[in-house]
């Protein structure tokens, strides 16, 4: 079974990664694919600065996730995807990589409230070609 875990550096994403790694260890031979998706912005001067910052954030999130997966003793691979929508990139990666399950945090770094499912997670649930496990909470 192949598990896809999108990461953005948020505590929710790390909790999703821990859950996926625990699941993979208890259901061998499961593969964990860690994905950092970078939104592509319009080519404006300010947009270029923001795009560079978002790409650095994605690289940092991926490095943090790799360290966590290594610490948990799970075999994994990584992927960085760029596109106009993070949710679309997650769904497209799931299709392209023939993923069986997406494990995603209920909110990301952009979360402003504790009462609603994050927009990225919500879109992934709606358009995913496979099952999606949404991980709530960070404790």
> pLDDT tens digit string along 1-36?
999 999 999 999 999 999 999 999 999 999 999 999
- Tell me how far apart the 2 most distant CA atoms of the chain are, in Å: 48
Token pair 């592509």 in the structure block, residue: 40
- Domains of the chain, by residue range, sit at 2-135
pLDDT of residue 114 exceeding 50, the answer is no
- Asked whether 6 and 63 are in contact (CB, 8 A), the reply is no
- DSSP H or E segment with residue 59: helix 45-71
pTM (2 decimals)? Answer: 0.89
Which SS3 state, helix, strand or coil, does residue 32 take? Answer: strand
- Dist. CA 67–CA 56, nearest whole Å: 17
User: Of 112 and 98, which is predicted with more confidence?
Assistant: 98
Which SS3 state, helix, strand or coil, does residue 14 take? Answer: helix
Of 3.40.50.280, 3.40.50.720, 3.30.2130.10, 3.40.50.620, which CATH number belongs to 2-135? 3.40.50.620
How would residue 52 be classed by pLDDT, with cut points 50, 70 and 90? confident
């Amino acid at each position: 079974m192949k598990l896809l875990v999108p990461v953005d550096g948020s505590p929710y994403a790390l909790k999703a990664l821990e859950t996926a790694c625990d699941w993979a260890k208890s259901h061998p031979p499961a593969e964990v694919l860690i994905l950092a998706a970078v939104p592509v912005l319009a080519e404006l001067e300010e947009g270029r600065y923001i795009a560079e910052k978002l790409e650095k954030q994605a690289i940092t999130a991926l490095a943090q996730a790799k360290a966590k997966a290594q610490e948990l003793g799970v075999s994994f691979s990584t992927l960085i995807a760029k596109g106009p929508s993070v949710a679309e990139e997650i769904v497209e990666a799931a299709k392209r990589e023939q993923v069986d399950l997406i494990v995603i945090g209920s909110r990301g770094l952009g979360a402003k409230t504790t009462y609603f499912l994050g927009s990225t997670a919500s879109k992934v649930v709606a358009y995913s070609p496979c099952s999606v496990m949404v991980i709530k909470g960070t404790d």
